[in-house]
A and B are shown apart, each in its own frame.
Chain A
Amino acid sequence: MNIQCKDRERIFWDGTAEEWAALEQHAAMCAVCAEEIRAWKQLSAAAAELRDPQESPALWSRIEASLREQQNAAANRGKFSRYFDYWTRAAHVWQLALAGAMVVALAVSGAYLYTHRAPQTMDASNKLLKSHALAEVERTEREYMSAIDKLAVDAAPQLNADTPLMASYREKLVVLDGAIAELRAQAGENPSNAHLRYQLLAMYQEKQQTLQDILETKR
């Protein structure tokens, strides 16, 4: 094996036995490598000075006492946690049985809830009632409008009279029609808004009452 000075550090790092032998052979003829090898090996030899053969006679007794204390403390903790550890240490088959029982219990509970869905039926009913109430309101509005149309036809002769009272009624009806038109537009955008619906019904009532008052003047 041909070894040169440039191979020295690589062999120091991780040379094989053969490479070391070849380096030693090379060092026999190379003073620099011989010095480097000697210094490298002597560093290892010097490391032996860091071995301290001094005995510590009491150290094992100390360690043993602390190990025993820790062991006893763990045993005491074990007494308290034994109950909680029971399931974790239980045989695998028991854990499976417990899991199976829980699945069965969940299935039975689910079935019971499915077959006794009274609250859900009530909810659906509430929803129908809500729609039903809206239909009822709309029906009432239509009845008001129909009644108002009939009253308006009856009251038309008096309303067209050129008197200050009728002029006042006409102005009031124009205002009411304007309000009704605006509320109907808003209620069209949001039909379920109860507040709008109440206001609209109030306007219809007011217009109906006004027309009835006009007809009363005829008498």
Chain B
Amino acid sequence: MGSVGFTLPWEHRISGAAPVRERRVEPSESRAETERLTADSSVDASVAAACLSGNLQGYEQLYRWQGSRMKNLARNLLGSPTDAEDAVQETFLKIQRSIASFRGQSSFVTWTFRILVNTCHDLRRSRVRRKDHASEDVESLQPANVPRARVSHPSLRMALERALEGLTSHQREVFLLYEVEGFRHAEIAGMLEISETASKNTLFQAKKNLRALLEPPRSAGAGSAQ
């Protein structure tokens, strides 16, 4: 696993990628970020209340607000858009079944994504069992090469997807939640039921591993200078 077939230097491969999201690299929250979080929390509360009342419109609001992010995360965790849609649907059903147990200890979105991540685990496990039962090659469990939306750097996406498979599932989840879906460490900690420090550690390790997987071997002296 790794960047087989990608011999270009790391910088060259992503030099034309989307603009760097400085805000995620620097941990301080700007005024705009604070305002966004406040707005999010009021939407979160109103959607939670609508769902708690049993009104299906509440679930529709949740879907319109977070659906594409949910599907995207499930797609990156499961590797297949079909499985991702199944996971999102199952997540909504689980939310409806257990909405009465939502006590507001975390945000509704955090709670929702915790259910989604667990649903993806379950689907992945059941897929492994199915494949084991059918005595198929383990290689076939890797994400399917299915058509996806047009992207600016398809080769980079493929390289990243392959590199992500080289991470532990925990590192993959934290990386996707933080870097792709834009959640904060406090939110990720709530979703994965870990500490914020553990989330930071895992992201750090994930990025180090990804760099190692994506970059071609470098000269021995590089990076060791003080």
The chain A residues found within 8 Å of chain B, CB to CB, are 4-6, 9, 12-17, 20, 30, 32, 35-36, 38-56, 59-60, 62-64, 66-68, 70-71
Contact = CB atoms under 8 A, between A and B. Distances in A.
A44 B89 contact: no
A54 B92 contact: no
B83 to A, nearest CB: 13
Contacts of A54: 81, 148-149
B87 to A, nearest CB: 11
B19 interface: yes
A60 B65 CA distance: 12
Interface of B: 10-11, 14-15, 17-22, 24-28, 54, 56, 59-60, 63, 67-68, 71-72, 75-76, 81, 85, 88-89, 92-93, 96-97, 148-149, 151-153, 156-157, 160-161, 175-176, 179-180, 200-201, 204, 207, 210-211, 214-215, 222-223, 225-226
Contacts, number: 142
Which of A4, A52, A70 has the largest number of chain B CB atoms within 10 A?
Answer: A52
Given A59-B67, A60-B63, A48 B225 contact: no
A4 B179 contact: no
B88 A50 contact: no
A40 B26 CA distance: 12
Contacts of A53: 68, 149
Given A39-B211, A45-B19, 10 more contacts: A15-B27, A17-B26, A40-B211, A47-B176, A50-B176, A53-B149, A54-B148, A59-B89, A64-B59, A70-B97
B225 A32 contact: yes
Which of A6, A40, A48, A59 has the largest number of chain B CB atoms within 10 A?
Answer: A48
A54 B85 CA distance: 12
B63 A44 contact: no
Nearest to A69: B93
B101 to A, nearest CB: 15
Nearest to A41: B20
A47 B93 contact: no
A52 B27 contact: no
Contacts of B204: 9, 12-13
Contacts of B18: 45, 48-49
